[in-house]
Chain A
Amino acid sequence: MGSESSIGLRVSRYRPESDPGPGWQEYDVPLRTEWTVLDALNHVKNELDPTLSFRWSCRMGICGSCGMNVDGEPRLTCGTFLVDHAPGPIRVEPLANFHVVRDLVIDMTDFMEKLPRVKPWIIRDEEQSVDDGEYLQTPEELDAYKQFSMCINCMLCYAACPVYGLDPDFIGPAAIALAERYDLDSRDRGARERLDVLIEHEGVWGCTFVGECTRVCPKHVDPAGAIQRYKLKAAKQSVMAVLLPRGAR
């Protein structure tokens, strides 16, 4: 080996006990073709600087915890290869639009508080007893919502969304896509309840269809499409509410 090439990492550091704000720290890591940004951060943590903090878990793009801004783009660091960002230095920052707890760790309280607001569970008019068996579903019915059920709550879409960055009250892409996932589920009867939440100003209307959420989504959930469809749904319901007599609603 001998002359193994290396690449620079420019990592955003923030230690709340001593730093007034985030600053940069540079590390040199081996540039290996099979290494991701997450591998490089683990190399830093294990070999160079044990004080560096970041979240990660599965290393295979399914847990959604290693999201960071890499060269300004929200990415899952476990799926972002160093060679694709050569020659570097690679800028690694905490996910945009969220408050920073320490180094690359963001505060996800706001997101965790928003998710349950859209009631992301199956709502039934009448709950069927366990003895009556399961709620059956055809493959076509599964297909209708499957795409929206692929969300891993990695929050990349929130980091990409300027509307969320400017107006933290905006309920955000993933939450609306998740609402759509349950609305489209043939077993669910909760569309009206979710619409009541999303028809509010901080629901779907803040979205100006930048489309970045869909572009950065590692699971191809298409939150931007879900939001526009929700607007149409809300508009249809509102028009019907005006046109139809009360009983017919």
Chain B
Amino acid sequence: MRSAAEIAAVCEEIVLDVGLSCVLRHRAESGKKAIGFLPIYAPREVVEAAGMLSVGVLGGGDQIEIIRGDAYFQSYICQLPRSVIEMGLSGKLDALDGMLFPAICDVIRNLSGMWQLLFPNKYVRYIDVPHNHDWEVGGKFYVHDLRELGRGLAGVSGVTPSDDRLREAIALHNENRRLLRALYDLRARAPHLVPTAEAYVVVRAGYQLPVEEHSAIVREYLEAARVSGRAPLDQSRVVLVGSFCEQPPLGLLKTLERAGCYIVDDDLVLGARFLRGDVDETGDPWEALARAYIAHGSHTSSRYVAGEQKGEYLIDLCKKRKAEGVVFCAPSFCDPALLEQPMLQTALEAANVQHTSFRYSENTAQFQAIHEQAGTFSDSIRLWSEDQ
């Protein structure tokens, strides 16, 4: 049996491979085509029901040098679209036959149009998830949109995503989501057993693997982590917020934990865990996906939830995870994260939850300042909780 660290190392290799060699291998073995999707959430089940691999594209991280991507973006735009364009233009995304751009912010939205202009031969679809959660209104609109997506994807693969095929994909992803929830629960219960840098790569590896294969890895990792015998440290428990789109470099996550913060929940690779509950495996699967989005969709800045009390969800999460503080860790120039942040901070202050904040970009290379800031924060919340 492999150790948790060994499994994580394999996952890390997959995550850091921006050339998608693992997708290329699956293409070659299965003869399937592949469709990429950007953050946050895309209904991967539909892609898979259409007989293709669904591949999460989260940017090039600190793995690639931006040579062409900067030519397309002004200095005040975040890093992710630069590296995605860079990857596209340098052939690193050649394994993908199409790309889905979920509604998240204006930059990703416009990137969908850039993709149409730059890659006229690839399938491109903008996924307008509904902000109206009335089933008869937003729900029906989304169901139609999903079916439209299914038709478009069938045009790429030649495989019609039948109801049966879709239900099958939903079942596989339900299992995967359950395993990821178990992983997050274990980390929250025993963060010393599941370092975040490991949990992160284990989750993210799923963006490049067939779902069954990924579920097997998560299961194996869970078992290995439970028996890893790692010793707990006297560290503070924090929730990480703001990293739902452009991902921080691994070094940053390691720095946070090294500085004394156990991350007990986060919004990293949020799409993988976006639906917080199961999707109904019976009945009309298209409606089931839409209903799950409305009922179990994560609370995140890009999604409008009518009547939502800002920050309530985060405060509940802190309670549930027994977190002592919140670390706002958002990419520079990220409109959704940075516009949301003051509202969340106000709510946390009213609830007496400590917080700190900093910004990064996916290719940030210096962690010294962050290490000091996180260390100070960790010390201060532990002192603070002793005082209480």
Q: Do A and B come from one complex?
A: no
A residues neighboring B (CB under 8 Å): none
B residues neighboring A (CB under 8 Å): none
